[in-house]
Amino acid sequence: MTEILNTVSNGGGTGTPLLIAHGLFGTARNWGVLAKRLADGRQVIAVDMRNHGGSFRAASNTYSDMAGDLARVIESSGGKVDVLGHSMGGKAAMTLALSRPELLAGLIVADIAPVAHSHSHLNYIEAMQAVDLARVTRRSDADPTLAEAIPEPMLRSFLLQNLVVEEGRASWRINLAALAANMAPLLDFPADLPEAAFDGPAFFL
């Protein structure tokens, strides 16, 4: 069975729908306030990318995978959409625009370029994996362990949004192992995309 991303929808109307793809370690909920503000006269759909939030878990997490996931969400909506992608979501959106341009009315890319990056986020994943979840009863319990590797409080707070405690058990709502295994393609940009270009409006921020 084909998996479909978890989505959070706001608004409605006749305007072109807007699809929002978050960045690495994020979720659709990160865009909650902005999604509501943008939902004036049109539907705004924020997704949890694969291996994030409430979406499905998968061993592979390439940009081609993620572009395919976004394509299925658009196809289920029944028409073209504007796509806003941030960071990892921006690379996924660009991959989608080049591989399935007929699905997009417009493209917005924030905080990322279609190039390979040399930095890695493995240290963040390792810090989250180092948390002893058996000793966590609330998010703040995990902060001291993260602080040993991540000194920035705001960054730790962002990462800890992925930690949930339900019925006395703590867990990460993010597939840390899969993201670690796919870090190389996540830092790269696909080189095997079709030669066809996206000729619709595009804005890079």
Per-residue confidence band for 119, with pLDDT thresholds at 50, 70 and 90? confident
Residue with tokens 């796509």: 83
CA dihedral sign, ordered 133, 138, 144, 147: positive
Cα-only R_g, the chain: 17
Does residue 197 have a pLDDT over 90?
no
Q: What is the mean pLDDT of residues 123-151?
A: 96
Contacts of 5 (CB under 8 A, 6+ apart): 47, 48, 49, 50, 55, 56, 69, 70, 72, 73
Structural contact between residues 88 and 185, judged by C-beta atoms closer than 8 angstroms:
no
CA dist., res. 13 & res. 92, Å (int)? 26
- Do the beta carbons of residue 205 and residue 111 sit within 8 Å? yes
The average pLDDT across 73-102 equals 95
Tell me the pLDDT band of 196, cut-offs 50, 70 and 90: low
Residues shown for the chain: 205
Q: What is the pLDDT of residue 191?
A: 87
Whether 9 contacts 31, CB under 8 Å: no
In sequence order, the β-bridge partners of residue 106 are 82
Model pLDDT for residues 109-118, shown as the tens digit of each residue: 999 999 998 8
Residue range 3-53, pLDDT digits in tens: 999 999 999 889 999 999 999 999 999 999 999 999 999 999 999 999 999
Average pLDDT, integer, range 82-93: 98
Task: Quote the pLDDT of residue 78.
Answer: 85
User: What is the pLDDT averaged over residues 166-189?
Assistant: 96
pLDDT band at 1 (very low <50, low <70, confident <90, very high): low
End-to-end C-alpha distance for the chain, whole angstroms:
36
| Alpha helices, DSSP H, located in 78-188 | 88-99, 122-129, 143-147, 153-160, 176-181, 183-187
Long-range contacts of 164-167 (CB under 8 A, 24+ apart): 165/136, 165/137, 165/138, 165/139
pLDDT higher than 70, residue 159: yes
